Amino acid sequence: MFSSFMTNAWISGTIVAILAAAVGFFVVLRGSAFAAHAIPNGAFAGAAGANLVGVNPLVGLVVFALAAAFGIGVTSRRTRSDVATALALVLMLALGAAFLATSNDYEPAVNALLFGEILGVSSNEILPVALLAALCVMGLLVLYRPLLLSSIAPDLSVAKGVNVALLDVAFLVIVALSSALAVPVVGALLTFSLTIGPPAAARLVSSRPHRALALSVVFSLATLWAAIACSYWTNFPIGFFVGTMSALVYVVVRVVVALTSSVRTHGRVDIAVPNLTL
């Protein structure tokens, strides 16, 4: 299981899991799960397009993910954001369908992009993935305080002079970059599972931002490592394990919290507004 051809899988998987947990923490906090689902799916269309033109798929992924992020961010100012997201998503997917219809290689490539091929990650793919991940983490660190504040108390952050619209687009760009690098590893459909399940579970356990964030990384790593191991033993696609285990983590944590909490909070703990000095 730890033989040489698996090394790349473990390294890239770990990078993706940490990043997904960190980004996902804010996705869950801000209620932008739909965008987090739509962006990797749109990015998938970009990979199909890059395939058609003969460019590196990662370029197509990044370009389309960024386009989706800007499209959603800008349109959301005039239209309800869920409607804007839905429309951006179907437009991207339709483009993807058109690209696939005009290109020759079909099924295996599509399956790999949708459901990921973590065991097929090559050594020279790791460096760009690591660089993009570092970029995203730096972005999150820079935006950490304003993001947290505007997610928890939007009115307060406006009062403090945070440009909420700009912050929104900046955050979606981070979501876009992180999903672009996660798509080839765990696939367009499952990048999303890691972004929601573990962070949502972590939020149930702790109401302190730092602790919830750390816990989210722990849950996410546990999920992805277990998924890689199970996929290795059973030969079933990794996407199956990532998807179901992410949901399972949430359900189990929720049941445990509901059973153990002395004060009944209906399984939900609101994150307290921390003492932020901006």
Partner 1 sequence: MRWLFEPGLFANGSVRTALVLGALVAVVSAVVGIFTVLRGQSFAGHALTDVATAGGAAASLAVVSPLFGFIGAGVLGAGAMDAIGVQRVKDRDVATGVVLGAATGLSALFLYLITLSTSTTGSTQSILFGSVFSVEPSTLPDAAVLGLLVLAGLTFIRRPLLMSSISPELAGARGIRVRWVGLGFMVMLAVAVGLSAIVIGSILSTALLIGPPASTLKVASRLSRAVALAGVLGVFATWLGVILAYDSYYWFASRRGLPVSFFVVVLVMLEFVIASAYTRWRRVHVATLRRAPREEDGRS
Q: Is 55 in the site for partner 1 (CB under 8 A)?
A: no
Q: How far is the CB of 253 from partner 1 (least distance, A)?
A: 11
Q: Is 155 in the site for partner 1 (CB under 8 A)?
A: no
Measured from the CB atom, the residue of 37 and 64 that comes closer to partner 1 is: 37
Which residues in the 188-247 window bind partner 1 by CB under 8 A? 189-190, 192-193, 195-197, 200, 236-237, 239-247
- The rounded distance, in Å, linking the Cα atoms of 113 and 76 is 28
Q: How far is the CB of 102 from partner 1 (least distance, A)?
A: 7
Closest by CA position to 105, among listed 57, 147, 142: 57
Stretch that binds partner 1, among 72-80, 133-141, 162-170, 176-184 (CB under 8 A): 72-80
Tokens 């909420």, residue located: 164
* Paired tokens of 84: 């804007």
Taking CB under 8 A as the criterion, the residue among 90, 138, 158, 164 binding partner 1 is: 90
Phi, psi of 269 (to 5 degrees): -120, 125
Measured from the CB atom, the residue of 118 and 131 that comes closer to partner 1 is: 118
Query: In angstroms, how far is the first alpha carbon of the chain from the final one?
Result: 47
CA-derived radius of gyration, the chain = 19
Tokens 């050594």, residue located: 123
Taking CB under 8 A as the criterion, the residue among 141, 251, 252, 278 binding partner 1 is: 251
Measured from the CB atom, the residue of 7 and 79 that comes closer to partner 1 is: 79
Which residues in the 26-45 window bind partner 1 by CB under 8 A? 28, 31-34, 36-37
Alpha helices in 235-262 (DSSP H): 238-260
Q: Is 150 in the site for partner 1 (CB under 8 A)?
A: no
Q: Is 261 in the site for partner 1 (CB under 8 A)?
A: no
- The rounded distance, in Å, linking the Cα atoms of 96 and 49 is 7
